Amino acid sequence: MLFLNKIVILFINIYKKFISPLFVSSCRFYPSCSEYARQAFVKYNFFKAFFYTLYRLIRCGPWSKGGYDPLERHWRDDGQ
């Protein structure tokens, strides 16, 4: 795993532990957007994970139904 990915995962974990609990749960998807991003940065290189995370965040809004939306649902599971 790249160093940059580890830094992003650290920030995601800090967000999930300290910031997210301060707000009412509002993510329309399962797994949550932050968990989806964490999974992407664990599994893929930085640029691919960033793209997948951005795509997910764009789809997460009041116009979306949400629901079960795992990382593997939209992307071929090729690891890297």
| pLDDT of res. 24 | 81
Domain housing 25: 3-73
Residue 14 lies in a domain: yes
Instruction: Name the 3-class secondary structure at 66.
Output: coil
Report if residue 80 sits inside a domain. Answer: no
Is the separation of the CB atoms in 46 and 21 below 8 Å? no
Q: Could you check whether the bond before residue 70 is cis, i.e. omega within 30 degrees of 0? A: no
User: What is the structure's pLDDT at 79?
Assistant: 52
Which pLDDT tens digit goes with each residue over 64-76?
A: 888 898 888 765 6
pLDDT of residue 25: 75
| 46 in any annotated domain | yes
Rounded CA separation 49/43 (Å): 8
> How many domains does the chain divide into?
1
Within-domain flag for 78? no
Distance CA 42, CA 37 (A): 9
Instruction: Place 62 in a pLDDT band, splitting at 50, 70 and 90.
Output: confident
Query: Where residue 52 falls among pLDDT bands split at 50, 70, 90?
Result: very high
Q: pTM for this one?
A: 0.83
